[in-house]
Amino acid sequence: MSNHEYRVVIIEQDYELLKLYWSVIDRMLNFKVVSVYNDSLEAIRRIAKDEPNIIVVSYYLEKDPTDILELLSKKSARLEIVALTNFIDSSWISKAIANGVSGIILKSKRIVELEKALVFVVNGGSYLSPAIVKKFVSANKKNLSSPLSPREMEVLQLMSRGKTYSMIAGELNISKETSRSHMKNIYSKLSVSSKSAAILLAKQQRII
């Protein structure tokens, strides 16, 4: 991670949790909480002035939180969204990823995983709580009819563990651009447009 300071906005209804997330993030090197909101619609209205790189948002703020995630993702293509949820709901998770969410954390694991997820997403990776991944996987079986090459499956497997392009390149002894090229091929073969969607689909289809 570079010395760039990442600007974080927190959207959390519970004030005690908001303070907890704030304290965790402000202890992290190169991260700064620039605004906090307990109302997501207010956050949508005012988010532009905050100029965040990352939004940490809770699941339960709205009856249909994916609408809020969609609105947030439309604010900037460069905006990373990390969502926290109490529930493992496969349809919501799929919609959240389709709306550009880079990380999904179970609230029961928030202290352990929040810092890890933020580091992953700013380095170009994606993060899903292990319990969420298990929702889409049974017995770790692989899909033998995978459209991906063995190397592409290796790249995607490493990406699913939060590895960045540089880390994948070093581990597989390939260039960073080659690792990016593999991911582009993966997107094309799986008909997805983001790392999170590729990882989720590969888990669902037992490709990795």
The answer to whether the beta carbons of residues 65 and 92 sit under 8 Å apart is yes
Q: What is the predicted pLDDT for the residue at 62?
A: 52
pLDDT at 64 over 70: no
| Chain segment 22-34, per-residue pLDDT in tens | 999 999 999 999 9
The CATH number of the structural domain formed by 150-204 is 1.10.10.10
| Chain segment 110-142, per-residue pLDDT in tens | 888 999 999 999 988 888 888 777 765 543 445
> Where are the chain's structural domains?
6-135, 150-204
Q: Burial level of 190, CB count in 10 A (0-12/13-18/19+)?
A: buried
CATH topology of domain 6-135: Rossmann fold (3.40.50)
**Cα(25)–Cα(45) distance, rounded to whole angstroms?**
23
This prediction's pTM: 0.65
pLDDT at 42 over 70: yes
pLDDT bin (cut points 50, 70, 90) of residue 54 is very high
